[in-house]
């Protein structure tokens, strides 16, 4: 799936290259594989930088962060204001909105 399809209409702080092919979405840097979108949930700048560098070294092609200034670490960066909301929306988009396919029955 292309990065632009995952991000869709979510508000971002800066422009990014949406033509990157993504095969996995991950928030733990040790579990990142090639062509992965890494979503950095860490709030402080130094820890976020460390996690992003680790994810890139494991093969992340794009990262999502709330910190401007981390986009020059070697992968495409998507900067957002609300990282937790982005995590929720991007995962839902990546897995093609599975919540829409659920049938709910009340008893």
Using the predicted structure, report yes or no on whether residue 78 has a pLDDT greater than 70: yes
Contacts of 27 (CB under 8 A, 6+ apart): 38, 39, 40, 41, 87
| Average pLDDT taken over every residue of the chain | 91
pLDDT of residue 71: 65
- From the number of C-beta atoms within 10 Å of its C-beta (0-12, 13-18, 19+), residue 102 rates as exposed
Give dist(CA 56, CA 105) in Å, integer.
43
Task: Output DSSP code: residue 21.
Answer: B
Q: At a CB cut-off of 8 Å and minimum separation 6, what does 23 contact?
A: 1, 33, 34, 35, 36
Record the pTM: 0.89
Counting residues of the chain whose pLDDT is more than 90, the rounded percentage is 69
Q: State the distance between the two ends of the chain, measured CA to CA, in whole angstroms.
A: 38
């Amino acid at each position: 799936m292309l990065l632009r399809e995952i991000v869709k209409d979510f508000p971002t702080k800066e422009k990014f290259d949406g033509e990157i092919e993504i095969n996995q979405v991950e928030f733990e840097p040790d579990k990142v594989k090639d062509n992965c979108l890494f979503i950095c949930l860490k709030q402080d700048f130094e820890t976020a930088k460390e996690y992003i560098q680790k994810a890139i070294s494991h093969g992340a092609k794009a990262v999502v962060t709330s910190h401007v200034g981390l986009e020059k670490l070697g992968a495409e960066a998507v900067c957002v204001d609300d990282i937790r909301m982005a995590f929720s929306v991007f995962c839902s988009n990546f897995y093609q909105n599975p919540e829409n396919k659920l049938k709910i029955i009340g008893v």
